[in-house]
A and B are shown apart, each in its own frame.
Chain A
């Protein structure tokens, strides 16, 4: 299917099915029940799942294939967001041109940063990308936020190109030459796809269950599926093979007469474009862009996602992104009252004791759990959750085989 072999094709089909039915799958608990807080099927969070999935897929193309660890990938995310916002402000609220511009801008950025950074490898590459990202952050935060004549004369209510600390926001004064400056009732218009508002959603009530289907989520999901499909094609292509060989032995590659640098730059730019696309989608879902998207912790987050899910695997980064965003939004909401109510069936002393043990790891302390899981994954499971799943599957398969073997040999005795 689409030039994929059977295994990849079925993986793509499974992911597609999961993404389409995500509003059902992520809402397994009826509304109002005690477990309803574990429901992740609301549009805002589902959008984040797929958007950060795109970001992590792109990061994986660079780190998973070539082994070059970029610690500044969030710079492209930020550039994508700013570019999309400017498209909304200057031209119109359609998301497609905005996404196109954010990919183009982040690609340009990636060409410049990649050309310079890729001249070094290993730790130097990590620090160079980190330095570039922090520079972009500092520029967006202060330098590009100083008032320039152009934008202020047009009556745009923000400082400079990036808006500094507060970031870029839509205003009623934005020109939007190809679209309406204001909606009919005088509000700021919202991002649309040829008239379909990104924030529009329909609800389906089935008994106690409420499922929300949002236009924004499905649009992002389609974009993610395309991105995922392209990444599979890249992984299986001769180009992907060259990138893998850079990871395993760059010297040998050079000796065979290949110049690895153009391939690496291509991988870096593709990966930056994925990040820019994710940034643009973030702006399209929630028209806002701030410099904190470029801060190095944001770069660290995508590293965590990719490693956690499984670096170098196809589906791993998406799983990692989902796991981290789920923790960030769901696990972090559990407070000590909720914990007490869970363990209320225990005797008082034991209840307090168990709550006291668990409490540091959840709720506000979810970062601690994340850090511990991340360390365990790096130490014991370099292939991430995907490798863990494969190991488990292999274990079961072996057991079954042994069972059948013993079943067949026993009668002979």
Chain B
């Protein structure tokens, strides 16, 4: 029992990332009908927002330590971040410590801007062209974004640690009545899962309970009729693209402490996220979320030692295997709408 719960928990953080990226992909596909291969790059840019903010916050200047000299007789100095000067030492240290969660504030405007520019500048011109062209041009864009990040940040992963309060693990098993020491779980992964749930809930609430969301949903169902009613649906879809980019970016920001951001992390996630979208059903938002968590958990079960002894290497191929079976038996995916991209 405890082993099963542990595997479910282990699958949650990857599952959360899959679900968030797949949610954004589905939003874009459902609204604009565009297959966005650059979505992984947006995830990666989000993660680098966290890196950027933590670098910005720790920008520092030298201050002489009064009454001390180094061994050459010059006044000794130490580096003091500018944040300390503004907020005082204790608050400054806390701000630097919390740079990853704070990066959310940076990432939201940045990602929305990136998304809107991408849609208006490039993707707008590809609505009428075949899906293959959309895949190709966004694939090219992904390469370009990736290389720009690589140029400025280098090819090596850059660690972006979680706040001190969330470093380390805790005994989750003891909390829910198992023997202590059976289910050890890192704090940050739980935070990530909670964060993903909040974001997913927010997106669904936004679509369900606001007028804007209602119009967007109507546009997803029948774009032309909504346009005929005198609503500027293109503008709303552009905003939705920005929103989808922001969801991917936020997923990236919070993922930075789990995997040190590197320039190709987006591509690694993208391939799996596409599989997730297809399994969930192209164009179905709940399907994307469900499939994301499901495949994340499945992957973690497949990497159990007991399973690997029977079928070696199953953890590497399980997601693809599931995708192949689903595509062949139920082409519209778990929760796909009938008739949407079924051929």
Contact = CB atoms under 8 A, between A and B. Distances in A.
Contacts of B150: 365, 367
A119 B130 CA distance: 19
Contact of A116 (B133, B143, B328, B343): B328
Contacts of B282: 123
Contacts of B137: 375, 378-379
B55 interface: no
Contacts of B142: 371
A128 B151 contact: no
Contact of B320 (A120, A134, A146, A303): A134
A71 to B, nearest CB: 8
B324 A360 contact: no
Nearest to B282: A123
A116 B125 CA distance: 33
Contacts of B133: 378, 382
Contact of A123 (B131, B146, B316): B131
Interface stretch (A6-14, A136-144, A214-222): A136-144
Given A134-B320, A146-B312, A122 B136 contact: no
B321 interface: yes
B267 to A, nearest CB: 8
A368 interface: yes
A171 B111 CA distance: 52
B151 A365 contact: yes
A69 B132 contact: yes
B143 A371 contact: yes
Interface string A283-322: 0000000000000110010010001000000000000000
B270 to A, nearest CB: 10
Contacts, number: 115
A117 to B, nearest CB: 9
Interface string B85-97: 0000000000000
B159 interface: no
Contact of A371 (B135, B144, B275): B144
A128 B324 contact: yes
Contacts of A379: 122, 125, 137
B128 to A, nearest CB: 13
A130 B135 CA distance: 13
A138 B295 CA distance: 17
Contacts of A378: 133, 136-137, 140
A-side binding surface: helix, strand, loop or mixed?
helix
B35 interface: yes
Given A122-B131, A146-B312, A371 B151 contact: no
A296 B271 contact: yes
Given A368-B147, A371-B141, A378-B133, A138 B328 contact: no
Interface residues of B, number: 40
Nearest to A113: B324
Nearest to A134: B320
Interface in B118-132: 122, 125, 130-132
Interface string B213-234: 0000000000000000000000
A127 B137 CA distance: 16
B274 interface: yes
B320 A374 contact: no
Interface centre among B125, B267, B282, B343 (most CB of A within 10 A): B343
Contact of B324 (A121, A132, A371): A132
Nearest to A307: B136
Interface string A64-97: 0001010000000000000000000000000000
B323 interface: yes
Nearest to B129: A382
Interface string B330-342: 0100000000010
A142 B318 CA distance: 13
Interface in A10-35: none
A122 B130 CA distance: 9
A127 B323 contact: yes
B331 A124 contact: yes
A135 B144 contact: no
Contacts of A132: 320, 324
B271 A367 contact: no
A4 interface: no
Contacts of B312: 142-143, 146
Contacts of B343: 120-122, 124
B147 A371 contact: yes
16 contacts: A67-B132, A116-B324, A122-B131, A126-B132, A130-B271, A130-B275, A131-B324, A138-B317, A141-B316, A142-B313, A146-B313, A296-B271, A365-B147, A367-B147, A368-B144, A372-B140
Given A116-B328, A303-B136, A367-B143, 15 more contacts: A67-B130, A67-B132, A124-B331, A128-B323, A128-B324, A131-B320, A132-B324, A138-B316, A296-B271, A297-B267, A370-B143, A371-B141, A371-B144, A375-B137, A375-B144
5 shortest interchain CB distances as A-B pairs:
A143-B313, A371-B143, A138-B316, A368-B147, A375-B140
